[in-house]
Structure 1
Amino acid sequence: MRRATDHVIAGLEARISSGELAHGERLPSERALMAEFGASRSVIREAIAALSNRGLVLCRPRHRPVVRRPGYEAVLEVTGPAVRQLLGTPEGVESLFRTRIFVERALAREAAANARREDIAALRQALEANRAAVEDTPQFYVTDRAFHRVLYEIPRNPVFPAVHEGFFNWLRPHWVKMNQTVAINRVNLAAHEAIYEAILARDPDAAEAAMNRHLEAAWGFVRETFAEAG
């Protein structure tokens, strides 16, 4: 059965990679796949489950599976369950958060050195939305995420926005435990303003330092949730 399943997986994966089965297109029915591959229903279902685990198809109850174009976000989504297992301890969360600090410090430097006019405009717009939401904590959280997202988009490398989504999804369960107040919103807004001003001034050192201060403070807020749990 394993060999039969691998045969179906390889056949469907080749068709997805070649574009014969396009992004957003539904897979053929189970009955059609059984006839095409000369396989049992259980083999077809096992193959589809494997493709879903690889991020190549999207499965929903009572719907035929849909093809997903292979991409960085899909790859990171597939690794999500494993990453969440690693986040079961404060040490695991800190390791991931410090990875985020490392990445965003570099992105702040990159933005200060190479951001285009439209990048600066997008960052300013995100900052203004963040400022307007400072009294509304749920909306401030949304605009905070959007501000950082712009920095991941500036290098025009599709890996970085996918990494941003990964950080957001993996760390979100810990962020929602944080003490969220308007006073903390104002601290974070001031940090965003400092990052923006350094980027606007084309000062990579100041941009990196501002980002480092911001995220080290953010880690302090996250760390407090572990102390409370203990």
Structure 2
Amino acid sequence: MSTQISTLRPPGHRAADFVVTAIEGRIAAGELPDGAPLPPERDLIESYGVSRTVVREAVATLASRGLVETRPRFRPVVRRPGFDAAMAAASGVVGHLLMQSGGVKNLYDTRIFLEAALVRQAALQARKDDIEALRRALDANGEAIPDSDAFYRTDVAFHAVLYEIPRNPVFPAIHRAFTGWLAPQWTRMPRSPERNRMNFQRHSDIYNAIRDRDPDAASEALTAHLNAAWEYVRGTFDEA
């Protein structure tokens, strides 16, 4: 058995890292397709000549990278690699960064920078169906003004459309990551129909600028909206 390990695993490589790399290769090659269960734990132990502890560590690493989904009493299931998996792999590190002084503000400023660019591009290049999708999201947001929980969900959905307009799968994955990373803090923000109405008006300003093909106005409206939001909610964070 030791000969098998030295042949398969390069010297100096941790056993768990070797198993992770091997399984990643099988997923990338399509040998383990999306939705398929991983081989039984005993088979992995025998195939790679490692211990049960090593296999379980490797599976945990694959799960942290979004390449497998684990559930108690079920075999892990392969998940197709994608940008959401890449963002999920960064979540642990991002969580620690958000706890550092200035961490939330740094991430939020990154969001402002990116969304300002997205609305500028949308004003220049959005198709009619994109603008219609944004309009539907805006209408849903307006209808939700009396219900703050629904308003929050439709607020997220409105911004999500901005990330979808470029038709680049990286951007929607980034939006979902931003939403997940910031939601634990953002949901602490006191809400009311009056404040919802103000935010809806700012969303309307963004929509109108995109519809009117005015990139400067779109960028200014988006930046003003998110800067105003930060000024209101920063008191709910540990940082000022």
Q: TM-score under structure 2 normalisation?
A: 0.90
Shift in CA distance, 176/90, structure 1 to aligned 2, threshold 3 Å: farther
| Structure 2 counterpart of 1:168, from 179, 186, 191 | 179
> Gaps spanning 5+ residues in structure 1: where?
none
**Aligned twin of 2:207:** 196
Look up the equivalent residue of 1:113 and give its one-letter code: L
- 1:40 is displaced (CA, Å) by 2.5
- Show the counterpart of 1:76: 87
The SS at the match of 2:57 is helix
Amino acid at match of 1:71: G
1:120-171 CA-to-partner distances (Å, cap 9, x unmatched) read 1110110010011010100000000000000000001111101101111111
2:65–2:88: 8 Å Cα contact kept in structure 1? no
Q: Give the CA deviation at 1:36.
A: 2.4
Deviations 1:85-108 (A, max 9, x none): 111145111111111100010011
The range that moved more, 127-136 or 2-11, is: 2-11
Q: CA deviation at 1:4?
A: 3.5
Q: Classify 1:78/1:7 alpha carbon distance in 2 versus 1 (closer, same or farther; 3 Å).
A: closer
* Equivalent-residue separation in structure 2 for 1:49 and 1:157 (angstroms): 29
Count the aligned residue pairs.
229
Identity of aligned residues (%): 53
2 CA distance for matches of 1:157 and 1:41?
A: 40
Q: Which amino acid aligns with 2:187?
A: V
Please list every run of 5 or more consecutive structure 2 residues that lacks an aligned counterpart in the other structure: 6-12
Do structure 1's residue 51 and structure 2's residue 78 form an aligned pair?
A: no
CA contact under 8 A between 1:179 and 1:221: conserved in structure 2? Answer: no
- Asked if residue 218 in structure 1 is aligned to residue 208 in structure 2, the reply is no
Tell me the CA shift for residue 177 of structure 1: 1.2
Alpha-carbon distance in structure 2 between the residues aligned to 1:155 and 1:226:
32
State the partner residue of 1:32.
43
TM-score by length of 1: 0.94
Q: Deviations over 1:170-222 (max 9, x none)?
A: 11111111111111100110000010000000000010011011001111122
CA distance in structure 2 between the aligned counterparts of 1:6 and 1:226, rounded to whole angstroms: 38
